[in-house]
Chains A and B, each alone.
Chain A
């Protein structure tokens, strides 16, 4: 995949003497020391990362860690004190005014925490703003704005003012306004933080849908670790202006690079992050439809289990048979598995979060079976693997109750 955004050694210092602070920073002074001695605030300290085309990149960190400052350097709402921000091979920091305007008009759009909607305009007027700035003619931009509003579920609200809407709906407008421009990159600074949890979940799902449809490159900020791990293809963690770790959610979860991230990770509800594919395993035993009852019994005995999944051609899942049924069948001189198949097991896809599996895992007599869209068996999940998946890998002594 090609790199869409590449940030190299980015520093942003707020204050009247950025040069001095920059020098101190290079000498290795801490953010606090620089603030106390020079009065300069280090917003971002030597951050480097890159985002691939079509990737969902999440930046998280505590309040004041420099997340907003960093994301605002990506469209130059904040001018970096030093470093490079390379988008599609061009260093945007070197852009002149006209190039910058064009870059903002076409390549990148921002969604704001408190929506930043224009209250004097209707929803339509808000959504067509970016197009209006580009002097696209009225009919065309209205048509695009109407379509975009419809795509975020706001059909019929076009002529309302933003203040007449609930928070969730307002942020949909914010999203529509950003999408109407058809930018390659979406910058989202805590877009869902102002929403209540239920609405928030809907918006997350919707954003993922939009992402999978439109393949935008998204840089998304949150201080909610659950949100970060749910949405992000990759996650970067910031502290005191520095990026202290980056990687995919699993990596970060399993190998927190320092105490700070460990604390962060502890706060996470692992059931919401770990997916079926992370804990499923290859079944020890499997029988094919062609095999007879006796083979099935032998398999189960060999592996010391009381039931076994039956697959057809190309691993297509057919059902499950139990040892008791098989023994009974042998007594009745039946040899085909077909009549013995049971279907009261629980089936799931590999992307399911274990949050949703817990209940069924404890209720069902059989392991949970993981299949793909074609009903092919990918793996099974036994109860113990769910439980062990919940244990933080670095603190085995802790027990988790639920």
Chain B
């Protein structure tokens, strides 16, 4: 009596499944290309990061914190990153970092142009809004499934899922930022004979930069959280250790990898935040 009638049911999941399968079959070439690109970026990033000796890496973090904010912050970040090394998770940390960086770079490359375009295009904007809302509210590990189907297990699906999860704020804030450029300023640009491209590059984007940077900061933080979750489909790094710790109910290991993630997240957050503050010009 109180349950929904059995004969009256609808299963949207199977249609999505059909779509995903159809995509894998018909767009194999596309996914292969994507795989190549993602792999190329991840491994190159990783190469660069591992090429830097650990002490230099710590020094760099220190300098970054010091130059962007204060001596105290620089020292704090250096201590945190050193602790990660002492715990013995240096390599995992580097790997996690390279996935985050890769995802963020690709998110920016995808997100900013879409954001700009949707600022100009009401219709696209109307289409994007529910999509972006959906993408952000969907539990993040749901993305792991299609990622796995498209790309199998490993780093590539992890990056893919991370991009899908973390791009929305970049699109949203870019679009918002462009729309918020004062009308008179835009008009001034056009009144002096700027082309659309010149107005975009010389006026709109520089004006929008602080907000776009805030979007990139959010994207980075989402990427960071997703990277941990995506270890479920085989991404190496700090997340993997968390996963193992959960399976073994190993409290010590769980704490070690957990605290390392926190340290890394803090550093990334502060650094991107400080970079975005450099763009404030009101």
Contact = CB atoms under 8 A, between A and B. Distances in A.
A and B physically associate: yes
Interface in A108-123: 108-110, 112-121
A103 interface: yes
A118 B189 CA distance: 9
Interface stretch (B10-18, B115-123, B199-207): B199-207
Given A105-B192, A130-B192, A134-B193, A120 B207 contact: yes
A100 B191 CA distance: 10
Interface string B89-115: 000000000000000000000000000
Majority-rule SS of B interface residues: helix
A110 B188 contact: yes
A130 B181 CA distance: 19
A75 to B, nearest CB: 6
Interface in B227-282: 281-282
Interface string B164-204: 00000000000000000010110111111111001000110
A112 B281 CA distance: 21
B193 A161 contact: no
A163 interface: yes
B279 to A, nearest CB: 9
Contact of B188 (A103, A116, A120, A161): A116
A262 interface: no
A104 interface: yes
A86 to B, nearest CB: 19
Contact of B184 (A114, A120, A161): A114
A56 interface: no
Nearest to B195: A101
Contacts of B185: 116-119
B188 A132 contact: no
Choose among A102, A105, A114, A118 the residue with the greatest number of B CB atoms under 10 Å from its CB: A118
A353 interface: no
A41 interface: no
Nearest to A101: B193
B198 A133 contact: yes
B204 to A, nearest CB: 10
Interface in A18-39: none
A77 interface: yes
A40 interface: no
A116 B184 contact: yes
Contacts of B182: 116
B187 A118 contact: no
A121 B185 CA distance: 12
Interface string B204-238: 00110100000000000000000000000000000
A148 interface: no
A129 interface: yes
Choose among A75, A102, A120 the residue with the greatest number of B CB atoms under 10 Å from its CB: A120
A163 B191 contact: no
Contacts of A121: 206
A103 B193 CA distance: 7
A69 interface: no
A110 B282 CA distance: 23
A321 B196 CA distance: 73
A181 interface: yes
A129 B202 contact: yes
Contacts of B191: 75, 77, 104, 108-110, 187
A120 B193 contact: no
Given A120-B206, A120-B207, A120-B281, A112 B192 contact: no
Nearest to B185: A116
Contacts of B198: 133
Contact of A132 (B184, B190, B202): B202
Contacts of A181: 192
Nearest to A163: B282
A104 B192 contact: yes
B161 to A, nearest CB: 36
Given A116-B184, A120-B206, A133 B192 contact: yes
Given A119-B281, A120-B281, 13 more contacts: A104-B193, A108-B191, A115-B184, A116-B184, A116-B188, A117-B188, A118-B189, A118-B203, A120-B209, A121-B206, A130-B192, A134-B193, A187-B191
28 contacts: A75-B191, A77-B190, A100-B193, A102-B193, A103-B193, A104-B193, A105-B192, A106-B193, A109-B192, A112-B187, A114-B184, A116-B184, A116-B185, A118-B189, A119-B207, A119-B281, A119-B282, A120-B281, A121-B206, A129-B189, A129-B202, A130-B192, A133-B192, A133-B194, A133-B198, A134-B193, A163-B282, A177-B192
7 nearest A-B pairs in the assembled complex, by CB-CB distance = A105-B193, A104-B193, A116-B188, A116-B184, A110-B191, A130-B192, A120-B206
